[in-house]
Amino acid sequence: MWVLCHMELRDMLQSLQFDNSFVRRLPADPEVGARRRQVHKALYSRVAPTQVKSPRLIAYSREVTALVGIDEADTAAPHFAHVFGGNVLLDGMQPYAANYGGHQFGHWAGQLGDGRAITLGETLNAQGERWELQLKGAGPTPYSRTADGRAVLRSSIREFLCSEAMHHLGVPTTRALSLVATGEPVVRDMFYDGRAAPEPGAIVCRVAPSFIRFGNFELPAARGDTDLLRQLVYFTITRDFPELLIDGVPPIAEAQHAAWFMTVCERTARLVAHWMRVGFVHGVMNTDNMSIIGLTIDYGPYGWVDNFDLEWTPNTTDAENRRYRFGQQPQIAYWNLTRLANALLPLFATDALLQAGLEKYVQTFDATYREHIAAKLGLAKCSEDDVEMMHSLYGLLQSAEVDMTLFFRALSGVNPAAPDLALFAHAFYDERKRTAAAPDFTAWLCRYGARIQADALAPDARVTRMQRANPRYVLRNYLAQLAIERAEQGDDTGVHELLEVLRRPYDDQPGRDAFSERRPDWARERAGCSMLSCSS
């Protein structure tokens, strides 16, 4: 392992303070380096990023530079791309890959681990906040199995943009500091049809308080290593859930473990309720892709709902069973929590407290879902009747193929005394379906108009509430794809434009109508626009 520290670099990024608690406090694999192996009795392996040919900064998030305490001016220096392309380690960085397992598509998959993610270190900013910096696509690790540890530009653009878009939408997520082109090709068989081809490579530096996943707990549990499991739980509670700590009492008692599991259940419930609110489909909700602190993590073949469809999955690998379809995400999150509960069972005398946590998931999801219904429809509070009204709307949107984002955004413009379906003409994908569904929609709008006239919320407050819950701009799959195609031709401005627009998803942005239009017909069946392969 090497540390290279130019004077210039030291000056530039000198404000970064590292406090690498994960590597300091948890057991390491004694072997250093990327030799592929099964790693027992250790939660991570020390491994450095592999150098790349010519790192070039494509984009960065100014909010995230501020968050971790990097001076925005530093991003302009060529060294910045070297650091966040993995060529240079700063003083204080201690790179590692985490060891975890997971259930993939419902089946236990054994050891997975960070196969292409390498954490550089944990920074502490001036406010004392901890932000872990992790490169994705930084080269092989012991967990890379048969793969190359790299990432292609298209998937890196998607991860970079969506991380930031989700944050600005108010959805808990890992963040993205930078997107760096490596200058090296990466070979991928994008359609899994034997036509492997080189594509440009890239590296995203993602940022979060913690990258621990459900799968980090599942692996030691599956191996019967209760000591290691216990150490990880202790570490996670003390570092990532300080609000649960009672002064001077180490979190080792069953009651403390139970309170923690319950908090994980609550956070997961709120996370998934947000996904349902904004029309986000994760696409690969395997337990290794579930964050223990309730963030959206691992942006792969995710997608945004255009025409409302609870059956839709963007992931081609999942096309047959649709396990991870839009409408099933709440149930899958619950199932994933049952896997986590099962892993934690050795720390409990009986499963009663874990069951209580799972019950809390159901309650929290239900309560949050109702809050979101109230906000999306512009109601002071959501009654049983309102839930039914929303579900009947979902039925209409689905069968008439209506754009989710456009419909809800337009809904705040309804005149409750005289609702008019013409307001929604731009949200329909199929004219014939629109004509056929018009009477049902009109009836629904009349019901809705009567409901909001009877509601306690004043009209102005209602519109404001709705416009904070129903975004105008989301990262539609085809928009990301257009930016990707431009970037692959050497033009990064599409990425910059999207990043800028998505910083204010709830504001009407004059001159930016092109970013809030429904999916064009050409994008309906095109790769990258409706269906995505896992190849990344």
User: Which residues are annotated as catalytic?
Assistant: 288
Nearest position to ligand AMP, beta carbon: 115
Using CB under 6 A, which of 49, 95, 121, 149 touches ligand AMP? 149
> Closer to ligand AMP at the Cβ: 151 or 293?
151
The listed partner (ligand AMP, Mg ion, none) that binds 113, CB under 5 to 8 Å by sort, is ligand AMP
Find the binder of ligand AMP among 74, 298, 318, 492 (CB under 6 A). Answer: 298
CB of 114 to ligand AMP, least distance (A): 5
Q: Which is nearer to ligand AMP, 211 or 260 (CB)?
A: 211
* Length, in residues, of the chain: 536
- Strand, helix or coil for residue 227: helix
Site residues for ligand AMP, window 258-287 (CB under 6 A)? Answer: 284
Distance CA 187, CA 173 (A): 29
Q: Are 192 and 535 in contact (CB under 8 A)?
A: yes
Instruction: Supply the minimum distance, in Å, between the C-beta of residue 159 and ligand AMP.
Output: 10
Tokens 């997107």, residue located: 179
Question: From the CB of 327, what's the least distance to Mg ion, in Å?
Answer: 23
Task: Please give the full DSSP string across 128-169, using - where no structure is assigned.
Answer: --EEEEEEES----TT-TTS-S--BHHHHHHHHHHHHHHHHH
Name the minimum Å distance from CB 182 to ligand AMP: 13
Task: Using alpha carbons, list the distances in angstroms from residue 316 to 187, 191, 363, 501.
Answer: 19, 9, 32, 28
From Mg ion, ligand AMP, none, interface partner of 300 (C-beta below 5 to 8 A by class): ligand AMP
Of these partners, ligand AMP, Mg ion, none, which one is at the site of residue 114 (CB under 5 to 8 Å by kind)? ligand AMP
Instruction: Output phi, psi for 153, to 5 deg.
Output: -60, -45
> Which residues, 278 to 297, sit near Mg ion by CB under 5 A?
289
Q: Which is nearer to ligand AMP, 113 or 357 (CB)?
A: 113
Select the binding partner of residue 120 from Mg ion, ligand AMP, none (C-beta < 5 to 8 A, by kind). none
Q: How far is the CB of 512 from ligand AMP (least distance, A)?
A: 32
Nearest approach in angstroms of CB 285 to ligand AMP is 10
Interface pick for ligand AMP out of 144, 291, 317, 405 (rule CB under 6 A): 144
Residue number, 289 or 291, with CB nearest to Mg ion? 289
Q: Is residue 378 close enough to count as binding ligand AMP by CB under 6 A?
A: no
Q: Which is nearer to ligand AMP, 118 or 475 (CB)?
A: 118
Among 298, 309, 386, 492, binds Mg ion (CB under 5 A): 298
Among ligand AMP, Mg ion, none, residue 285 binds (CB under 5-8 Å by kind)? none
CA distance 117 to 115: 6
Is the Cβ of residue 114 or residue 309 nearer to ligand AMP in the bound state?
Answer: 114
- Of these partners, Mg ion, ligand AMP, none, which one is at the site of residue 29 (CB under 5 to 8 Å by kind)? none
The angle formed by the CA atoms of residues 482, 140 and 13, to the nearest 5 degrees, is 75
Please report, as residue ranges, which positions from 84 to 143 form the binding site for ligand AMP (by CB under 6 A): 112-116, 143
Q: What are phi and psi of 483, to 5 degrees?
A: -65, -40
C-alpha triplet 528, 311, 384: angle, nearest 5°: 130
Q: Give the whole-angstrom CA distance, residue 281 versus residue 394.
A: 16
* Distance from the first to the final alpha carbon of the chain: 27
Rounded to an integer, what distance in angstroms lies between the CA atom of residue 495 and that of residue 180?
12
Radius of gyration of the chain (CA): 24
- Judged on CB neighbours under 10 Å (0-12, 13-18, 19+), 104 is middle
| Min dist. Cβ of residue 298 to Mg ion (A) | 4
Using H for helix, E for strand and C for coil, what is the string for 415-451? Answer: CCCCCCHHHHHHHECCHHHHHHHHHHHHHHHHHHHHH
Cβ neighbors of 2 (< 8 A, separation 6 or more) are: 48, 89
Least distance (Å) between residue 138 CB and ligand AMP: 10
Please identify, using beta-carbon distances, which residue of 470 and 535 lies nearer to ligand AMP. Answer: 535
| Widest Cα–Cα separation across the chain | 72
The residues binding Mg ion (CB under 5 A) are 289, 298
The residues binding ligand AMP (CB under 6 A) are 112-116, 143-144, 147-150, 284, 288-289, 298, 300
